[in-house]
Chain A
Amino acid sequence: MPDGPSSPTRLGDLERVVMETLWAHERGTLTVRAVHNELAADRDIAYTTVLTVLDRLAKKGMVLRERVGRSWEYRAAASRAELTAASMRHTMEDVDSGDRRAALMHFLDGASTDEVADLRAALAEVERRANPDA
């Protein structure tokens, strides 16, 4: 497949792999060396590249780092489940935020004022029309 505009950047791929490595360690901290060792098992990757990716992730607030002795140690700022839950809350509950409604186009925007029974009746009508003999 050609490297079109819809394919994620290589850097984005690496960020993802690095996050997965940190997540796999259950909030335990890892040194750059440790992350590099894990990644290098599957691919050809330079130590400095891992350092750059971790640095980018730290700037984005995705990972936290702290000085331990003479080296930096990194850990994920939040678990994948926490981030997913927060993301779902943001995208589903901010019904009043016109910005989010214009930025992301939902299959079904926000919650509905309709009663489920009314929706079920409307659905039944669609089904009846599609199959009048049933």
Chain B
Amino acid sequence: MIRPFGLDEALFIVFAIQWTLALSAIAFAGGAVGGLIIALLRVSQARLPRYLALGYVRLFQGTPLLMQLFLVYFGLNIFGAGINPWLAASLALTLHASAFLGEIWRGCIQAVPSGQSEASWALGLGYVDRMKSVVLPQAAKIAVAPTVGFLVQLIKGTSLASIIGFVELTRAGQIINNATFVPFKVFGLVAILYFVICWPLSLLARWMERRFAVATQR
């Protein structure tokens, strides 16, 4: 029997937004920690950590997110963690976000004039104080707009978790479509919902970019 596409079906899709947002939040939080580590390694004085971080970034930027999800999903099973879409999706998206945020933030750290670092040296600040109190706060200002831009990319990326069976917005759409057979309406609605989440963030990123460009103009 084909089920009609009514209010209940639409609401099932709408409420799946929470899982998309939860997964995005986990990946973003994890990616922020990983990204900071990658960014700091990428600007480190020592050669080995620099190359290791570069290799990590190249690996994750040179392979599809879908394959990263599959490898973590099946890889976790091999390591005895079983088949667990939540864990696999969170871990894969965290690793993915770490590479991208690490590369974005490396650029921001390097955009801070080197005189700032040198002045901290001259004042006798150690590595931690120099980064924590001088370089990172200035880099953070530059980083806000591109980071929000990446957040949009990450939210869209969570849709791929549906392929390994994680029920979020896209998977909810597929489930309803399989019961109602009105793909035009179902995927139209899912697209609108993603747009409602992502578009304000895109506008925010663009607005911050413009404001920053004005602020740094001389």
Q: Do A and B come from one complex?
A: no
B-to-A contact residues, CB < 8 Å? none
A residues adjacent to B (C-beta < 8 A): none
